[in-house]
Amino acid sequence: MRKTTFSGFIRPDGSAGIRNHVAVISTVACANGVAAGIARAVPGAVPLLHAHGCGRVLEITMHLNTLAGLGKNPNVAAALVVGLGCETVQASAVAAEIAKTGKPCEHLVIQEQGGSRKTTEKGVKIARAFLEDASRIQRQACPLDLFTIGLECGGSDAFSGITANPAVGLVSDWLVGQGGTVILTESTEMIGTSHILSRRAKGPETAQKVEQVVAKAYKTTRDILGELATYVIAPGNMDGGLSSISEKSLGCIAKGGSSAITEVVDYGRSPKEKGLVIMDGPGYDAESIAALAAAGAQLILFTTGRGTPIGFPIVPVIKVASTTRLYNLMEDDMDVNAGTILEGRSLEDVATEIRTLSLNVMNGTLSKAEQNNQGGIVCLAAMTPAF
Amino acid sequence: MAHNVMLINRKDNVGVALFDIGKGEKILLSTGAELDAVQDIPYSHKVALREIRTGEPVFKYGEIIGHARSDIGPGAWVHTHNLQTLEL
Provide the residue ranges of all domains of chain A, joining segments of one domain with +: 5-134, 147-371
Q: What CATH number has the domain bearing residue B47? A: 2.30.130.110
Amino acid A261: pLDDT = 97
3-state secondary structure of B24: coil
B1 reaches A (C-beta below 8 A): no
Structural domains in chain B (count)? 1
**pLDDT single digits (tens) A174-213:** 999 999 999 999 998 898 888 888 989 999 999 999 999 9
Q: Do B65 and A247 touch (CB under 8 A)?
A: yes
Residue of B nearest to A157 (CA): B44
Angstrom distance (rounded) from CA A60 to CA A62? 6
Sequence-ordered list of residues with C-beta below 8 angstroms from that of A345, at least 6 positions apart, any chain? none
Q: Which residues of A touch B16 (CB under 8 A)?
A: 158-159, 162, 241
CB pairs under 8 A between A and B: 67
Of the candidates B43, B63, B79, the beta carbon closest to that of A250 is on: B63
Range of the domain at B74: 5-85
Sequence-ordered list of residues with C-beta below 8 angstroms from that of A239, at least 6 positions apart, any chain? none
Interface of B with A in 20-39 (CB under 8 A): none
- Strands A5-10 and A148-154 turn out to be unpaired
Amino acid A205: pLDDT = 97
B60 reaches A (C-beta below 8 A): yes
**pLDDT single digits (tens) B36-83:** 999 999 988 999 999 999 999 999 878 888 899 999 999 999 999 999
**Residue A234 pLDDT > 60, yes or no?**
no
CA distance A340 to chain B (A): 12
Interface of A with B in 182-211 (CB under 8 A): 191-192, 196
Q: Which residues of B touch A162 (CB under 8 A)?
A: 6, 8, 16
The dihedral sign for the CA sequence A274, A275, A279, A283: positive
- Is the ipTM higher than 0.90? The answer is no
**pLDDT single digits (tens) A106-143:** 999 999 999 999 999 999 999 999 999 999 999 999 99
Q: Do A240 and B44 touch (CB under 8 A)?
A: yes
> Count of alpha carbons within 13 Å of A164, Cβ hemisphere only?
32
Amino acid A367: pLDDT = 98
Q: Which residues of B touch A251 (CB under 8 A)?
A: 61
CATH entry 4.10.280 includes domain A5-134:
no
Residues in chain A: 387
